[in-house]
Amino acid sequence: MKSAAQLRCMCTNACNMGNKQDFLEAMVQQPSYDAIIITETWWDNSHSWSAALDGYKLFKRDRKVGRGGGVALYIREAFDAVGIENNDDEVECLWLRIKGKANKADILLGVCYCPPNQEEEVDNLFYE
């Protein structure tokens, strides 16, 4: 298992992954990325392509109401990562716990998206 102390991340705002499958597949060909973090995936049931990437485990949180939004996090399968439950549908956040090895602490890795027109009550939920 790889050490989380050497975690290398790439983060992008996709503004609709529906037409960027080739870009995503090219990104994971880069051996330097352990985690790929994406905001504004815009994923829903209308996409016919697969979101799975060889060598990565996908964690995603689609926007429940309306169009747009959504966050995703791909983590290399070499890491022992588990999703942390978040039952608040209004906040577009996704959190993972990456297990530390031996006497090393776990690492929390997250992705959040705050749309520009987000209401103040949702901002408060986000900060909590």
pLDDT at 50: 61
Q: Which residue has the higher pLDDT, 69 or 90?
A: 69
Domain residue extents for the chain: 4-127
What's 4-127's CATH class?
Answer: alpha beta
- Across the strands, what pairs with 11? 37
Instruction: State which amino acid sits at residue 19.
Output: N
Give the CB-side neighbour count of residue 13, counting CA atoms within 13 A.
7
Residue 81 pLDDT: 94
* Whether the Cβ atoms of residue 41 and residue 12 lie closer than 8 Å to each other: no
Residue type, 18: G
- Residues 98 and 59 sit within 8 Å (Cβ to Cβ): no
Judged against a pLDDT cut of 80, whether residue 61 lies above it is answered with: yes
| Residue range 26-55, pLDDT digits in tens | 766 666 789 988 888 877 666 545 677 778
Q: What is the pTM of this model?
A: 0.78
Q: How many CA atoms lie within 13 A of 12 on its CB side?
A: 15
Q: What is the pLDDT of residue 17?
A: 65
Please state the separation of Cα 34 from the chain's center in Å: 12
Sign of the Cα pseudo-torsion (36, 30, 105, 2, in order): positive
